[in-house]
Amino acid sequence: MKIVQAVHSFPPAIGGIERHAYELCECLHGMGESIVVHTSGKGGGEPFLVKRHWALKFPFFSSVSWIPFLALRLMAEDADVYASHGYGSLMPVCTAVAAKVRGKPFVFTVHGYPQLSGMGRVAQWIYRNTFARIIFAASSRVIVVSRHSIPFIEGRVAPGKIVYIPNGVNASAFECPPFTEGEYFTYVGRLDKDKQVDMLIRAAARTGGKEKILIAGNDDGAKKSLEALAKELKVDAEFTEVQPGDVGKIYCYSKAIVLPSRYEGFSLVWLEAMAAGRPMFSTPVGEAPELFREVYGADAEKFLFPDEAGLAERLREFGAKEKEYLRIVEKAKEKVKKDYSWKRVAEKTREVYLSAISEKKKK
């Protein structure tokens, strides 16, 4: 089976969609499938074919890029199935058109449904009523990595075409000593306003500023204001950019991971932190409540917080009872290693592709 994937960016670029697409393609390649990826940016060294093109990037929207003549490039591929990623991206539009012209199935993966404000909300409304209509109409299947995306799209997708397949993790890449040896309370991810990283800084100030904060991520417009806030509140915060090979080390340096996002679908940070044996504190967004109940059981509420005051309370409790978290965290680590491998994700996705191909042939 020849699978053509189109994604707005790809490793070494950092991001949840990028990582998902890479791990999925690598596993499918390992299963003997033929993989071709069309994307933007620079890179190399992948075990499968990646075709990188110049792209026009749109400011303020990290997933929005336009590759000239992409639909024609995709049509030139002799694909059995076309696939693309990311609600809000232009890549699925081109992929849907190419699949339609070639008479092949198109599978679209939704990684989350952003909750935007201001001009972002206007752009989202335009996308929902133009490009999204084309994408969903052309989709043979729509994969969602978070069940919380389903209510936003189910009225636009034909019944029976939505499939839930959660994200995965390469647990062997996140082997760390016990979290008691860690030093930082760490945020990992992009530095933009919707990640609400300021909440971590303010919560640390509420607890007396005893925690050492590490903010590890590439700037998406919020870094200067975060640095100024940490200085103003006298919080011990270090900032560092993240290279692809450094992510595992960052978890190992950390005592706990904090993700205070305003919205997420199914964040890879949740799984990576758990696989690294780190306490994972998060706002209850996207798939977090279900995942945390699954891996932390009756202790899930210890790791979920609704706001700044709630995060400060969780940090105080963790600081006072740190050793009590060892058993909880170790149990979560084993659960994630067992149930959330990328191989499992790839096997389920492959089944979706084969089903879409079979259905298309019958028409």
Q: Do the beta carbons of residue 199 and residue 230 sit within 8 Å?
A: no
**Is the pLDDT confidence value at 113 over 70?**
yes
Q: Average pLDDT for residues 6-28, to the nearest whole number? A: 94
Q: 244 preceded by cis ω (within 30°)? A: no
The per-residue pLDDT for 242 is 85
Q: Do the beta carbons of residue 76 and residue 104 sit within 8 Å?
A: no
- pLDDT category at 306 given cuts 50, 70, 90 is very high
Distance CA 289, CA 243 (A): 29
Classify burial at 67, counting beta carbons within 10 Å of its beta carbon; exposed 0-12, middle 13-18, buried 19 or more: buried
Whole-number percent of the chain with pLDDT over 70 = 97
The per-residue pLDDT for 212 is 94
Higher pLDDT, 15 or 250: 250
Place of tokens 């490039």: 73
SS3 of residue 44 by DSSP: coil
Q: Average pLDDT for residues 58-69, to the nearest whole number? A: 72
**Is the pLDDT confidence value at 111 over 90?**
yes
The per-residue pLDDT for 117 is 66
Give the H/E segment covering residue 66. strand 65-66
- pLDDT category at 57 given cuts 50, 70, 90 is confident
Neighbours of 274 (CB within 10 A): 30
Give the neighbor-by-neighbor strand order of the sheet with 81-85.
49-53, 34-40, 2-6, 81-85, 106-110, 141-144, 162-164
The per-residue pLDDT for 201 is 96
β-partners of residue 36 are 4, 49
Residues 6+ apart with CB under 8 A from 172: none
Q: Do the beta carbons of residue 196 and residue 262 sit within 8 Å?
A: yes
DSSP labels, 258-302:
EE--S--SS-HHHHHHHHTT--EEE-S-TTHHHHHHHHHGGGGGG
**Is the pLDDT confidence value at 293 over 60?**
yes
Neighbours of 111 (CB within 10 A): 28
**Is the pLDDT confidence value at 61 over 60?**
no
Choose which CATH entry (3.30.365.10, 3.60.21.10, 3.40.190.10, 3.40.50.2000) describes domain 171-339. Answer: 3.40.50.2000
Domains 2-168+341-362 and 171-339 share a fold: yes
**Is the pLDDT confidence value at 119 over 90?**
no
Q: Average pLDDT for residues 135-139, to the nearest whole number? A: 96
Choose which CATH entry (3.40.50.300, 3.90.10.10, 3.40.50.2300, 3.40.50.2000) describes domain 2-168+341-362. Answer: 3.40.50.2000
The per-residue pLDDT for 63 is 60
**Is the pLDDT confidence value at 36 over 70?**
yes
Q: Average pLDDT for residues 267-281, to the nearest whole number? A: 97
Q: Please state the separation of Cα 45 from the chain's center in Å.
A: 22
The per-residue pLDDT for 59 is 60
Residues 6+ apart with CB under 8 A from 226: 191, 197, 198, 201, 215, 237, 239
**Is the pLDDT confidence value at 60 over 80?**
no
Copy the structure tokens of residue 186.
Answer: 């760490």
User: What letter would DSSP give residue 47?
Assistant: S
Neighbours of 309 (CB within 10 A): 13
Encoded amino acid at 3, one letter: I
87-97 tens-digit pLDDT: 989 999 999 99
**Is the pLDDT confidence value at 209 over 80?**
no
The per-residue pLDDT for 244 is 73
The per-residue pLDDT for 168 is 97
* Alpha helices (H) along the chain: 16-30, 70-75, 91-102, 119-129, 131-138, 150-153, 197-206, 223-232, 247-253, 268-275, 288-296, 308-320, 325-339, 342-362
SS3 of residue 114 by DSSP: coil
Distance CA 356, CA 67 (A): 26
223-250 tens-digit pLDDT: 999 999 999 999 999 999 988 778 899 9
Place of tokens 């189910």: 154
The per-residue pLDDT for 264 is 92
Whole-number percent of the chain with pLDDT over 90 = 80
Mean pLDDT of all residues belonging to the chain? 93
**Is the pLDDT confidence value at 62 over 60?**
no
Domain ranges (residues) in the chain:
2-168+341-362, 171-339
Q: Average pLDDT for residues 60-82, to the nearest whole number? A: 87
Q: Do the beta carbons of residue 363 and residue 118 sit within 8 Å?
A: no
Query: Which range, of 53-57, 177-181, 183-187, averages the lowest pLDDT?
Result: 53-57
Distance CA 80, CA 30 (A): 18
Q: Average pLDDT for residues 206-218, to the nearest whole number? A: 89
The per-residue pLDDT for 322 is 93
Q: Average pLDDT for residues 141-148, to the nearest whole number? A: 96
Q: Average pLDDT for residues 252-268, to the nearest whole number? A: 95
> Residue 179's closest CA among 320, 336, 322?
322
